[in-house]
Structure 1
Amino acid sequence: MSKEWLAHRIKAEEEGRRIGSVLQFCLGFSRRRLQVLTRTDGFRLNGKRAHLDRRVKEGDLLEVCVHQEEEGNLAPVAMDLKVLYEDADLLILDKPPGIEVHPPEQRARFRPTLAHGVAHYFAEKGIKARVRPLHRLDKDTTGICVFAKNAYAHQTLDRQLRDGTLQRGYLALLRGLPADPVGIIDEPIGRDPEHHMRRMVRDDGERAITRYRVVEVFEPPCRETEGRAGGTAELEPSLEPPLALAEVVLETGRTHQIRVHFSHRGTPLLGDRLYGGDSPRIGRQALHSAWVTLRQPRSGEAVKVTSDLPEDMACLIVGNEESHGGNNGTIAKAPETE
């Protein structure tokens, strides 16, 4: 069974430390992962097997197994996948609407998910690995979805997600204008006792932080009404609220966080039936995962991936711009990474 190794040259400041300490505190391996590495001969010092208690010297070569062939954990299902980025550790896809990222732990009937499509992609490419999605997107949310190809990459990216090194940016069309064009929503989220799927802002919920800025505002077109006594048609203000295109960055990742926070503020996502934004103009919540920035798990190099707006959201924006003779706003972009 083939293995892939990460090579680490011991630095002067690491001299005298035990191998286990270097693996855990310098390379970021969890205690649980250290146990797996010990059972599977998953590390070596200067080309030889060693014990976790062995002390290292400057210039020593510590090699760690970051991946070995493993059996898949999902049935492969052929589907068209749009790959935005791929390397030895990462697979980043552009998720369409109408499909779940991965199956819930319990499911009465089998239903293909994006993860089943990744399992098929791995099988076609000869990649012997489990499917490890880093995060979840709601079924009808589109855009960037990150998968790790091995346990080391998944653990590293999960740590980046928790410490803020990995950032995710979304684009949302709001039904109405937020009170402030730039702001932070810091409101705890928990389950709605009156609806099994819905979440709500509640004092005993988990802390949830959402940062946003309004990128473009679209006033609704005027309504055309019949003129008096057969006269020419007249225009009246629309009864519809304006739309706001907002760039949203999550500092936490609660279920339905963006949808709950904006609904709580009185500006639900356009098309979001569950949270009060139902609209005939779009058949889903207008939410798109537009960019992600992270560090490559092995090299530490900055990786930035972006995804274009899907057709249904783009058409809404173009339609609003055309109805007002154009708009000089710009679509939000991922920040530059250092």
Structure 2
Amino acid sequence: MLNILHLDDALVAIDKPPGLLVHRTQLDAHEEEAALQKLRDQLGRPVWPVHRLDKGTSGVLLFALDADTASAVGQSFERGEPSKRYLALVRGWPAEDTGAIDHPLARDPEQPSTGQPMLEALTHWRCLARAEWSLATDARFPTSRFALMELRPETGRRHQIRRHLKHMAHPIVGDATHGKGPLNRAVAAHLGVQRLWLHALELRIRHPGNGEALVMSAPPGPEWSGLPGIQTELQSITRSTSPEA
């Protein structure tokens, strides 16, 4: 059963687990399960996705319960009106505590950038914690450095956060496309968990029916609490995003 974060007559939000597609696609033809079909069966009615999360990303995922609502909310996302907040574990320590990545991105990350239109893309970031683990992922160093980061994308380009953090030289741990394979494998073996360490923590929108502010949040899953050296920050985040907060 999917964890439902919000449900009304027009919208439903779930806490998508990592590794689950939003909907079936030929790019992952071997995957038989997807959030859209699971939620449809769970509610016993059709649902329409209004935005996307990558397969490996966990957290807040919003659906509409009718086509008109889907169109209205989808247009709101295209205009960049919703506010999104993500959590990521990245390689290395950022030199500053806060900053912004203002770096255009090619429309299709699956294709070479040359010849593609470059689209404006802006992501604000904040370093929440820095940790050093007794884990050698490079023969030159006996330890490895990691950071817990909060990301607030202002635009919604495909793989924007993943591509921007790669551009920043702090790729997300577990990112098979934009990260570092040896580091990803070493961390997965060290933690006993293999995943993309990116979580959609919060989504804020204007409800299409009454115009009121709607805030949906999902605390990071239990595997995050096993990350060495950043438990205090994670506990604070979990408390602030729990349903009773």
Question: What range describes the TM-score normalised by the shorter chain of this pair?
Answer: 0.7 to 0.9
Aligned to 2:203, which of 289, 292, 306?
Answer: 292
Between the two proteins, the alignment pairs up a number of residues equal to: 229
**Alignment pair present for 1:255 and 2:158:** yes
Deviations 1:269-326 (A, max 9, x none): 112222223243231221000001111111111111111111222211xx3247xxx6
Would you say the 8 A contact 2:121–2:157 is kept in 1?
yes
Question: TM-score when scaled to structure 2?
Answer: 0.81
| Alignment CA distance shift 1:199-1:186 (3 Å) | farther
Separation (CA, whole Å) in 1 of partners of 2:115 and 2:164: 11
Distance 1:104 1:264 in 2: 28
Deviation at 1:138, TM superposition (A): 1.0
The answer on whether the counterparts of 2:102 and 2:121 sit within 8 Å (CA) in structure 1 is yes
State the structure with more CA Rg: 1
- C-alpha separation in 1, matches of 2:133 and 2:168: 20
1:81 counterpart residue number? 2
Give SS of 2:73's match: helix
By how many angstroms is 1:243 displaced? 1.2
Distance 1:302 1:280, change over 3 A: same
Map of 2:92 onto structure 1? 176
Contact persistence 1:157–1:166 (CA under 8 A): no
Does the residue aligned with 1:138 lie in a helix, a strand or coil?
coil
Residue 25 of structure 2 corresponds to residue 104 of structure 1: yes
Q: State how 1:316-335 maps to structure 2 within 5 Å.
A: 316=227, 319-321=228-230, 330-331=236-237
Question: Counterpart amino acid of 1:250?
Answer: P
Q: Tell me the CA shift for residue 160 of structure 1.
A: 2.5
Say if 1:296 and 1:102 are closer, same or farther in 2 by CA, change over 3 A.
same
- 1:161–1:167 contact (8 Å) kept in structure 2: no
1:301 aligns with 2:222: no
Give me the CA root mean square deviation: 3.1
Are 1:92 and 2:92 an aligned pair?
Answer: no
1:141 equivalent to 2:57? Answer yes
Unaligned runs of 5+ in 2: 189-193
For 2:206, give the aligned amino acid: R
CA distance in 1, matches of 2:27, 2:225: 36
1:202 deviates by 9.2
Deviation per residue, 1:27-78 (Å, 9 max, x gap):
xxxxxxxxxxxxxxxxxxxxxxxxxxxxxxxxxxxxxxxxxxxxxxxxxxxx
Q: Where does 1:240-279 land on structure 2 (aligned, <5 Å)?
A: 240-277=143-180, 278-279=184-185
Looking at both structures, which has the greater relative contact order when contacts are Cα pairs under 8 Å and sequence separation is at least 6? Answer: 2
After superposition, residues 29-48 of structure 1 pair within 5 angstroms as none
2:223 is matched with which residue?
Answer: 312
Mapped partners of 1:284, 1:199: distance in 2: 26
Q: What aligned pairs does 1:142-161 form with structure 2 within 5 A after superposition? A: 142-161=58-77
CA drift at 1:145: 0.3
Determine helix, strand or coil for the equivalent of 2:130. strand
- Percent identical pairs in the alignment equals 31
Letter in 2 for 1:301: E
Q: Once the two structures are superposed, what CA deviation does each residue of 1:250-283 show, in whole Å capped at 9, x if it has no partner?
A: 1112221111111121111112222223243231
Structure 1 pair 120–238 and aligned structure 2 pair: CA distance change class (3 A): same
The equivalent residue for 2:191 is none
Q: Distance in 1 between matches of 2:97 and 2:141?
A: 22
Structure 1 range deviating more: 154-163 or 246-255: 154-163
The separation in 2 between residues aligned to 1:220 and 1:110, in whole angstroms, is 34
